[in-house]
Amino acid sequence: MYWSPSAPSTGPSLVAYPSIPGTPTSTVVTAAPSSAMVGQTPARPVNIPPSVSAPVSAALLGAVIGGANAFGRNMYHVQQGEMTVSQAVVRGLMHGAATSLATTTATVLTANVTDSDALHLAALAATAAGLSYLISAGAHTALQRRDAGA
């Protein structure tokens, strides 16, 4: 499926290279939204209903991405015989929960950073990383105390 212009250009133009052999050497693509898109909410990048708030969306995405990442990383240790599949699943769920908490809290704390998208993303990443560190450090300390007392 190839893009074809349906409305005149309404903004600054960008040069795009053609993907169909035999087409002109350049195609003009508008950088501004078409009149049909003005006033519409941009599409969400994932399949989460629009009625779900930003912190809840962040919690869901944090849990899925963090848990899947940890589980995938842990499968290497399962293959090496260093942990069982059940340990990999439990650690994946714990990491997903921690990532979910850190992402949700960072989303709430950085909601007022509206100067630029790049600044908001940097603040979100730094806050989530710091919170993730604090959660991991706290969990590690608690496990050490539990193991020392057992």
Q: Is residue 22 part of a domain?
A: no
Q: Is residue 13 part of a domain?
A: no
Domain hosting residue 80, numbered range: 54-149
Q: What are phi and psi of 58, to 5 degrees?
A: -65, -40
Q: Is residue 34 part of a domain?
A: no
Orientation angle between helical segments 117-149 and 85-109, nearest 10 degrees? 140
Q: Is residue 27 part of a domain?
A: no
Are the beta carbons of 26 and 16 closer than 8 angstroms?
yes
pLDDT score for 81: 94
pLDDT score for 56: 85
Instruction: Supply the DSSP string of 4-68, one letter for each residue.
Output: ---S---S-EEEE---STTS-S-EEEESSPPTTTTTPPPPPSSS--TTS-HHHHHHHHHHHHHHH
pLDDT score for 52: 75
Q: Is residue 9 part of a domain?
A: no
Are the beta carbons of 147 and 102 closer than 8 angstroms?
no
Q: Is residue 81 part of a domain?
A: yes
pTM: 0.58
- SS3 at position 30: strand
Single-letter amino acid code for the residue at 108? V
Structural domains of the chain, count? 1
pLDDT in tens, 75-96: 999 999 999 999 889 888 888 8
pLDDT score for 85: 92
The answer for residues whose C-beta is within 8 angstroms of residue 24's C-beta and 6 or more apart is 18
Q: Is residue 139 part of a domain?
A: yes
- SS3 at position 14: strand
What tens-digit pLDDT sequence spans the chain (150 residues)?
A: 444 445 555 555 444 444 455 555 544 444 555 555 555 555 555 666 777 788 888 888 888 888 889 999 999 999 999 999 998 898 888 888 888 888 888 888 888 888 888 898 899 889 989 998 998 888 888 878 888 876
Q: Is residue 99 part of a domain?
A: yes
